[in-house]
């Protein structure tokens, strides 16, 4: 019999999906890693597991302790679910601008959710700084009672993707992967997968698909952290270089507008049945660009990070999309009585 012993055992080993429209458009095999099939619903379950296992191994996360993290949502969900299954409670700080669906999912997962203002990282009220300070305050009262996950700068994040996500991609493609592309929030997935694939096949092309409003693409291309415009995407993009993103082996980088990425995820849902979130749309747009850059006959892998149902009020809301200047497909308009 094949029986999983606990929640942690159910994380990872996600299928690789052929994305038909993107493949036919480019003449490449465009493949999406179905990370929305993880038990907590996103690729951040992998990050959460990697961080927890590393902290347990190093004696930083003790039995009965409180997990504290600052997150846009998905990492918090993963930490709360995996943490609960291993006997920890979780306190999650997140920007109040994040989707109601993710906030509710965190609370359902058992986390204590504390919403804070959405401010730049340099502001001491930023959710990462507040989470760190709260963890430190708990440990001052009772040493060892709390652990701060620090997903952005804890390189156990990148190392776990290097050891697991990349290995799965390599084995699923039988080493025939020619390019990998995804967006970066913490940078753990892009850097970890990129490092592992480059080690096995130096010619593989690693690309960053960055939403407008993020400074990372401009940093890769021009060496400056400069951002323009904005994006409705959540959980990706950055105005700083994290420890996980640093030294990522990136060959190409693009800034992707919502007007390019959101129609692709609408099309993916309508024509192929996969309902994915905004970051997956940015990733898919990057996969199409990378496939076009390499030319027909190549295998391109990207990440389908989470489900679109976590962003229903934005991605599938015709009035909201029109307000942002994003095309609304006819079928969506009809579905909502437009």
209-264 pLDDT, tens digit per residue, is 999 999 999 999 999 999 888 999 988 999 999 999 999 999 999 999 999 999 99
Q: Are 53 and 86 a contacting pair, CB within 8 Å?
A: no
What percent of the chain is predicted at pLDDT more than 90?
91
Which residues, listed in sequence order, are joined to residue 179 by a DSSP beta bridge? Answer: 205, 300
- Identical topology for domains 7-37+164-333 and 43-148: yes
**pLDDT confidence of residue 233:** 92
**pLDDT confidence of residue 338:** 53
Residue ranges per domain, the chain? Answer: 7-37+164-333, 43-148
**pLDDT confidence of residue 72:** 81
Tokens of residue 163, six digits: 């050891």
β-pairing, 299-304 vs 66-70, is unpaired
Tokens of residue 8, six digits: 């942690």
Eight-class DSSP state of 163: I
**Within a 10 A sphere around the Cβ of 298, how many other Cβ atoms?**
19
Q: What is the mean pLDDT of the chain?
A: 95
Integer Cα distance of 331 and 311 in angstroms: 18
DSSP 129-161: HHHHHHHHHHHHHSTTSEEE--TTT-THHHHHI
**pLDDT confidence of residue 176:** 98
Q: Which of 35, 32, 45 is nearest to 14 (CA)?
A: 35
**pLDDT confidence of residue 322:** 96
Torsion of CA 39, 258, 238, 56, to 10 degrees: 0
**pLDDT confidence of residue 69:** 97
**pLDDT confidence of residue 99:** 85
**pLDDT confidence of residue 336:** 72
Question: Averaged over 171-189, what is the pLDDT?
Answer: 98
Output the CATH code of domain 43-148. 3.40.50.1100
Q: How far is CA 170 from CA 35, 201, 202, 260, in A?
A: 16, 10, 13, 29
pLDDT tens string 51-60: 999 999 999 9
The question of whether 44 is a catalytic residue gets the answer yes
Q: Which of these is catalytic: 44, 102, 198, 314?
A: 44
Query: Taking 60 as the threshold, does the pLDDT of residue 191 lie above it?
Result: yes
Integer Cα distance of 168 and 177 in angstroms: 12
Q: Are 212 and 255 a contacting pair, CB within 8 Å?
A: yes
Q: Are 310 and 249 a contacting pair, CB within 8 Å?
A: no
**pLDDT confidence of residue 337:** 57
**pLDDT confidence of residue 229:** 85
DSSP 194-235: HHHHHHH-TT-EEEEEEETT-SHHHHHHHSS----S--S--S
* The CATH number of domain 7-37+164-333, selected from 3.40.50.720, 3.40.50.1100, 3.90.1150.10, 3.30.470.30: 3.40.50.1100
**pLDDT confidence of residue 117:** 92
Residues 6+ apart with CB under 8 A from 50: 156, 157, 159, 160, 161, 164
Total-model pTM? 0.95
Question: Averaged over 139-158, what is the pLDDT?
Answer: 97
**pLDDT confidence of residue 98:** 86
Helices (H) and strands (E) in the chain, counts: 14, 10
pLDDT tens string 79-124: 999 999 999 999 999 999 888 888 999 999 999 999 999 898 889 9
C-alpha 322, offset from chain centre: 26
pLDDT tens string 56-72: 999 999 999 999 999 98
Integer Cα distance of 193 and 307 in angstroms: 21
Integer Cα distance of 165 and 168 in angstroms: 5
Tokens of residue 262, six digits: 């959101």
Eight-class DSSP state of 16: E
């Amino acid at each position: 019999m094949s029986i999983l012993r606990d929640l942690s055992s159910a994380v990872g080993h996600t299928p690789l999906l052929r994305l038909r429209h993107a493949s036919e458009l480019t003449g490449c095999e465009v493949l999406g890693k179905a990370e929305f099939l993880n038990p907590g619903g996103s690729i951040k379950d992998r990050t959460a597991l990697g961080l927890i296992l590393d902290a347990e191994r190093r004696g930083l996360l003790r039995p009965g302790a409180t997990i504290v993290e600052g997150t846009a949502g998905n990492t918090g969900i993963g930490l709360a679910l995996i943490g609960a299954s291993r006997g920890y409670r979780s306190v999650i700080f997140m920007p109040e601008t994040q989707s109601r669906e993710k906030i509710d999912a965190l609370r359902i997962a058992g986390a204590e959710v504390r919403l804070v203002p959405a401010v730049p990282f340099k502001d001491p009220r930023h959710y990462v700084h507040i989470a760190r300070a709260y963890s430190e305050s708990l440990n001052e009262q009772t040493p060892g009672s709390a652990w701060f996950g620090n997903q952005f700068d804890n390189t156990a994040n990148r190392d776990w993707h290097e050891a697991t996500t990349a290995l799965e991609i390599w084995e699923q493609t039988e080493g025939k992967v020619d390019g990998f592309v995804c967006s970066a929030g913490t940078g753990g997935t892009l850097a970890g997968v990129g490092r592992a694939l480059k080690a096995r096949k130096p010619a593989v092309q690693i690309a960053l698909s960055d939403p407008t409003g993020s400074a990372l693409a401009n940093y890769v291309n021009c060496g400056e952290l400069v951002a323009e415009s904005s994006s409705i995407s959540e959980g990706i993009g950055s105005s700083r270089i994290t420890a996980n993103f640093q030294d990522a082996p990136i060959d190409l980088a693009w800034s992707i507008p919502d007007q390019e990425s959101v129609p692709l995820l609408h099309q993916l849902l309508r024509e192929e049945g996969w309902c994915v979130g905004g970051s997956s749309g940015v990733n898919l747009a990057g996969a199409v660009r990378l496939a076009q850059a390499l030319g027909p006959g190549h295998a391109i892998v990207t990440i389908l990070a989470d489900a679109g149902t976590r962003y229903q009020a934005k991605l599938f809301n015709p009035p909201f999309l029109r307000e942002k200047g994003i095309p609304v497909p006819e079928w969506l308009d009809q579905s909502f009585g437009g």
